[in-house]
């Protein structure tokens, strides 16, 4: 059965701290790893990673994938209170043109002023 | 472009009833996926539709069904509701032009409460 495990489940930091969120996966026919940020409603897309070892960066957020060790990390530097959210990672697998996403349970990040 | 829309946003039903949720994808998106999100289980994949055909299905009982129309709008139906069906139901659309790079865009969800 496909599985995605995120750690830690929750994290409380102070503004300005740097955090690292972890995501490990066991998925058949793995194609890509996605990160989402979920505040009060719909998850919003952050990154999609398909190649191992290549960092994707967007402002203070960055992510990297290790396809050999089957994990990804999401880094957030100089955290702000607006970064408080649930961070979800999902592994996409595919058989031909069919695919599905398996999500982890998320990491609840709380950034205190 | 307008985002993914879902209706209704909130719904309260009683056990044994059935419910239909609706999702309108982003214009031009042909793939619609449905997810159930609960505090205990997180986000779980229900099914995915592409060009009016169900292509993938998660591990949910047959009480959960769906369909997609020719304009890519999708509906999800849950029959004989149980208390455990209380959840946030999210739909996500994707253009599916190139499956390896396509990302999914989520709607705001429908919060279903079963009493």
Count of pairs with CB atoms under 8 A, one residue in A, one in B:
60
| Neighboring chain A residues of B96 at a CB cutoff of 8 Å | 97
- Range in A48-57, B14-23, B71-80 the model is least confident about: A48-57
- How far, rounded to the nearest angstrom, does the alpha carbon of residue A31 sit from its chain's CA centroid? 15
- Angle B14-B15-B18 from CA coordinates, rounded to 5°: 80
Task: Answer with the residue of higher pLDDT: B31 or A18.
Answer: A18
- From the list A34, A100, A105, which residue is nearest B56 (CB)? A100
Q: By CA distance, what is A93's nearest residue in B?
A: B100
Contact A104 B42 (CB under 8 A): yes
Backbone angles phi, psi at B91, to 5 degrees: -115, 150
Q: How far apart are CA B35 and CA B93, in angstroms?
A: 11
* Residue carrying structure tokens 């289980």: B41
* Best A49, A99, A104 residue to mutate vs chain B (most B CBs within 10 Å): A99
**Mean pLDDT confidence for B9-14:** 96
Measure Cα distances from A52 to A29, B15, B68, B84, B103 in Å: 15, 47, 35, 39, 18
- The chain-wide mean pLDDT, for chain B, equals 91
Residue pair A85/A61 in contact (Cβ under 8 Å)? The answer is: no
Q: Where are the alpha helices (DSSP H) in A43-90?
A: none
What is the per-residue pLDDT across A36-84, written as a single tens digit (0 to 9) for each? 999 977 899 898 898 777 889 999 999 999 988 999 999 999 999 999 9
If phi over 0 gives left and psi between -120 and 50 gives alpha, with beta otherwise, what is residue B96?
left
- Range in A76-80, B15-19, B45-49, B87-91 the model is least confident about: B45-49
CB-based contacts of B95: which residues, under 8 Å, 6+ apart? B26, B28, B29, B30, B31, B102
Whether B4 contacts chain A with CB within 8 A: yes
* A98: pLDDT strictly greater than 80: no
Task: Output the pLDDT for position A96.
Answer: 56
If phi over 0 gives left and psi between -120 and 50 gives alpha, with beta otherwise, what is residue A59?
left
How far does A60 lie from chain B, in Å, by closest CA?
Answer: 21
What is the per-residue pLDDT across A11-39, written as a single tens digit (0 to 9) for each? 999 999 999 999 999 988 888 899 999 99
């Amino acid at each position: 059965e496909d599985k995605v495990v995120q750690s830690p489940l929750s994290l409380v930091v102070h503004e300005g701290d740097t955090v690292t969120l972890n995501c490990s996966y066991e998925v058949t026919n793995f194609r890509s790893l996605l990160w989402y940020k979920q505040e009060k409603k719909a998850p919003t897309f952050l990154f999609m990673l398909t190649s191992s070892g290549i960092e994707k960066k967007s402002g203070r957020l960055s992510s990297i994938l290790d396809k050999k060790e089957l994990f990804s990390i999401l880094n957030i530097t100089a955290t702000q209170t607006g970064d408080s959210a649930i961070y979800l990672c999902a592994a996409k697998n595919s058989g031909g043109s069919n695919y599905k996403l398996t999500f982890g349970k998320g990491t609840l990040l709380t950034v205190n002023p | 472009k307008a985002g993914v829309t879902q209706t209704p946003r909130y719904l309260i039903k009683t056990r044994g009833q059935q419910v239909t949720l609706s999702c309108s994808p982003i214009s031009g998106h042909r793939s619609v996926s449905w997810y159930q999100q609960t505090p205990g289980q997180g986000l779980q994949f229900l099914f995915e539709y592409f060009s009016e055909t169900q292509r993938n299905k998660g591990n949910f009982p047959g009480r959960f069904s769906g369909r997609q129309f020719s304009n890519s709008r999708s509906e999800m139906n849950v029959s004989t509701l149980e208390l455990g069906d209380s959840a946030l139901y999210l739909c996500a659309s994707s253009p599916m032009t190139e499956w390896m790079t396509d990302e999914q865009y989520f709607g705001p969800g429908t919060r279903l409460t079963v009493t």
